[in-house]
Amino acid sequence: MRLTGTVRDNLPDGGLGNHSLEIFIDGTLVGITTSNENGAWSFNWVISDFLDIGFHTITVTAPAQGYYRPGSVDANLTIAYHTSINLQVDDVSVTRGEQWNFTGRLFDSDTAGAPGLSGREIIVTLDGLEINRITTGEDGVFELEYSIGYLIARGGHDIRFTFEGQTFYLPVEYNMTVYAKADIQIEVLWETDLIIRSDDSKEIKLVGRIVEVGGESNVIEGMEVVLLWNGLAEPSILVWDESTGHFELRSPARSTMPPGELSLTISAIADADRFLNGLDIEHIVNIRVPVTFTFTPDNHHIKENQRRINGTVTVTANDTGLPVQGISIVARLVNQSVIHFQNVKLTDSNGIMDYDFIIQNQPAFYDQNKWGELSLLFQTDSQLISPNDRLWLNNDYSGIEMTYEDPAPLFTFWQIIALIGILLILGTLIGLGLSLRRRRLAALDEMADIFSYTAELLAAGDEIREAIFNCYESLCNILMRNGFLRRDFETVREFEMAIRKALPISEDALVALDRIFEEARYSSHKLGDGHRQNAQHALSMVLQEIDEVQDVPERDSFDLSEAVA
């Protein structure tokens, strides 16, 4: 504690120099001091621990000295506790639109255990302006959540928490510097509409600006801006226009970039010196690729009776030599005025589009009266390829050449000679065939006559065994002439086999005929009316089936060769 004052006499300039003074607290001498030449004095005293908190009396006495009588003066002294504030903030630096979160404690710093002072008012000021008054809670704890809004200036701000004191508690204040940052917005104002891969003259070019969020919404210049693809920075050139505050970003479209829509990232790096946050935005650009078209086959030769025309188109990137997938191509089969057929397909993973034109139940493609003179044209509207290549295919490329096979020539001399020879051979064969057919039909008629004659003899009552045996013998002669029997005399079983080959008659008729022949030839008993009826029935069955037979079958080659021998 510092005490100051003056000691004077009653004269106008009555300052007493070198005058001794005694200081008492509650009647207890605590110190002696001496005035200077002007009578001013001062005394510094560290308050002793024995002095209780509360009100006390200070007495300053000037004892009698020389020609001066004694004099004294009293003053009141209040002894109070020292107070302190502890303060923390969650984040000393926040962005516009967010808030600072403060927590603190007001406490008695003189008393052991630093007891908190509850129910005390604390005044909060920001940059010298009061923004809140808060009351301490239990144990002197207090909190403050302060939203900084969007109008606050970027940068550092002084925030102060003040306790103005009370009768027995000294005032205290705590101040700290906190910071306000600003978000930004990136606006793309213009971009090139034609980006061709691996073409330096058709690179990615963007013009944009950066605007701070809040404050006065100023256009920000000079930030670092980069272009990213798949999280990696692309080689680029950044230029700022001082007159507008806009930036221009240029970057080549590399050969590894896929054609079509490509998602890039425009990244503005945070500027700590200007308390500006960074920002990444996604931006879509359309990458086009220069290509080469390859046609297989490179011409079509249309032949007579051809009903199918097919082939492939392969699309290859010029800069990488790799196939390009997803290119839409239309293949059209046309004449000068009419589109007859068309195929629309996308190229596959190998860059191939295949076309296939097939006709059925119509004249062949060779028929120009029906289809006209055909041409095969291609077109694409794909935005994945360079416009020059698209224009070339649509307009400059004349299509696949279509040629027609010459008509087949008339027969040559040797072809005519060969044809005459073939016709003579065919005529001879046909004549032989007709002759054989007439011969076989004659044999068939002869067999029918024999069966009919035998049936008539039996019906007339002739001797049964003789009539049947004569019929058997006559049939054997006919079969031998036609190569179905090998010897003059055959057993009935051999005759049965020959009849099976010669006549395709039913099993019942054949068995019945064999039985009457066998019985007539080998039996010795007398044949009666029952045998006559059986023979008539068998002959009738055979005659009925012979009427339905149109030809005598040929005997197999083995039997014929033996017959000839």
For the chain, the average pLDDT equals 86
197-211, 316-330, 389-403, 437-451: range with lowest mean pLDDT: 437-451
Between the alpha carbon of residue 470 and those of residues 116, 449, 493, 498, 499, the distances in Å are 155, 13, 17, 17, 16
What confidence score (pLDDT) does residue 413 get? 64
What HEC string does 504-552 produce?
CCCHHHHHHHHHHHHHHHHCCCCCCHHHHHHHHHHHHHHHHHHCCCCCC
Question: What is the helix (H) or strand (E) element at residue 129, kind and residue range?
Answer: strand 129-135
Edge-to-edge strand list for the sheet holding 328-334: 339-346, 328-334, 375-379
Residues 6 or more apart from 361 whose CB is under 8 A from it?
none
Q: Which domains does the chain have, with CATH numbers?
A: 2-79 (2.60.40), 83-181 (2.60.40.1930), 189-288 (2.60.40.10), 291-404 (2.60.40.10), 421-564 (1.20.120)
Burial-class residue 495 by CB neighbours within 10 Å (0-12, 13-18, 19+): buried
**Model pTM above 0.75:** no
Per-residue model confidence as pLDDT tens digits over 321-351: 999 999 999 999 998 878 999 999 999 999 9
> pLDDT tens for residues 464-517?
777 777 787 777 777 777 776 665 555 666 766 776 666 666 777 667 777 777
Cross-strand pairs, 123: 133, 162
At 555, the pLDDT band (50, 70, 90 cuts) reads very low
User: What is each CA distance from 490 to 463, 480, 486, 498, 557, in whole angstroms?
Assistant: 23, 10, 8, 10, 20
**Average pLDDT in the 184-189 region?**
96
Q: Is the Cα dihedral 44, 47, 50, 56 positive or negative? A: positive
Residue-level pLDDT at 545? 72
Least confident segment among 42-51, 141-150, 266-275, 322-331: 42-51
Q: What does the DSSP assignment read for 288-354?
A: EB-EEEEEESSEEEE-TT--EEEEEEEEEETTT--B----EEEEEEE-SS-EEEEEEEE--TTSEEE
Answer whether 489's CB lies under 8 Å from 473's CB: no
Beta bridge partners of 289: 385
Rg of the Cα atoms in the chain: 65
pLDDT band at residue 557 using 50, 70 and 90 as cut-offs? very low
**Cα gap 451→7, rounded to integer Å:** 187
Q: Are 86 and 173 in contact (CB under 8 A)?
A: no
* 3-class state of residue 421 by DSSP: helix
Instruction: State how far the Cα of 546 lies from the Cα of 503, in Å rounded to an integer.
Output: 8
pLDDT at 441: 61
Reading phi first (left if > 0) and then psi (alpha if -120 to 50, else beta), residue 41 is in beta
- Which amino acid is it at 313? V
Place of tokens 């005293």: 45
- Tokens (6 digits) for 452: 């009919």
The DSSP bridge partners found for residue 314 are 294, 352
Higher-pLDDT residue of 358, 415: 358
- The predicted-structure confidence for 147-183, as pLDDT tens digits, reads as follows 999 999 999 999 999 999 988 899 999 999 999 999 9
Q: Flag whether pLDDT at 141 surpasses 60.
A: yes
Is residue 40 over pLDDT 70? Answer: yes
8 A C-beta contact, residue 302 and residue 402: yes
Q: For residues 275 and 260, is the Cβ–Cβ distance under 8 A?
A: no
Of the CA atoms within 13 Å of residue 202, those in its CB half-sphere come to 18
Closest alpha carbon to 219 in 250, 266, 185, 181: 185
CA 234 – CA 249 distance, rounded (Å) = 11
Backbone angles phi, psi at 208, to 5 degrees: -155, -175
Helices 529-546 and 413-460 pack at an angle, to 10 degrees, of 160
Which amino acid type is present at position 261?
A: E
Question: Among residues 463, 459, 465, which one has the least CA distance to residue 533?
Answer: 459
DSSP letter at 455? H
Please confirm whether the linkage preceding 363 is cis (ω < 30° from 0): no
Q: What is the DSSP letter of 137?
A: -
